[in-house]
Chains A and B, each alone.
Chain A
Amino acid sequence: DAGVIQSPRHEVTEMGQEVTLRCKPISGHDYLFWYRQTMMRGLELLIYFNNNVPIDDSGMPEDRFSAKMPNASFSTLKIQPSEPRDSAVYFCASGGGDEQFFGPGTRLTVL
């Protein structure tokens, strides 16, 4: 298995632009998680899905952030409009039990 796949690996955009991050979980995993990592706040859970249904989105910072999981093999995290404070590394993880498997992350820089 290729593991969790994220794209793009790096994204540089200007303030106000829409950003879409993509994730392909490991086949057979029914949980998918989106995290954000910064030096100041560490690793924060934004939202997670079970069988494609959002279960807990209490970590989503504000309405500018949205996440979807249209099928078991694909999820997106969208930021619209983006702001400089959104600059971070965004990780997707999937799991079928207690252990989570992380993707390589997307490093987002908003200028």
Chain B
Amino acid sequence: SQQGEEDPQALSIQEGENATMNCSYKTSINNLQWYRQNSGRGLVHLILIRSNEREKHSGRLRVTLDTSKKSSSLLITASRAADTASYFCAGGSNYKLTFGKGTLLTVNP
């Protein structure tokens, strides 16, 4: 079963713009993680936010978590063509992750 549901399913922006992706989840979690997948590759961990945190930053990434709404958002600032990929959120509990279906981000040069 899917834990996270990302929104939108696809997003196309111009280089330099910001990209925001949202995620909703269903059950209780210890943490919420975001991963990136380039076409034909494995997933790469981007950032983790714990259930007692509300916001976290890492470079051009900003993640928020609202446990009352069971939702999270990932903001990528000043996007680059190299950011083109699929982005997945995953709810973590006891080392087990349940992934959503992802948002396909296309950054046009």
Contacts and interface: CB of A to CB of B under 8 A. Distances in A.
A25 interface: no
B33 to A, nearest CB: 7
B25 interface: no
Nearest to A30: B95
B36 to A, nearest CB: 11
Interface of A: 4, 31, 33, 42-43, 45, 48, 50, 56, 91, 93, 95, 97-105
A104 B2 contact: no
Report the 5 A-B pairs with minimum CB-CB distance, sorted nearest first: A102-B42, A42-B101, A43-B99, A102-B43, A99-B45
A48 B100 contact: no
A103 B44 CA distance: 9
A98 B31 contact: yes
Given A50-B95, A98-B48, A104 B101 contact: no
Given A31-B95, A42-B2, A43-B88, A100 B45 contact: yes
Contacts of B44: 102
Contacts, number: 49
B48 A99 contact: yes
Nearest to A107: B40
Contacts of A48: 95-96
Contact of B100 (A42, A45, A102): A42
A5 to B, nearest CB: 11
Given A42-B2, A43-B88, A101 B45 contact: yes
B15 to A, nearest CB: 27
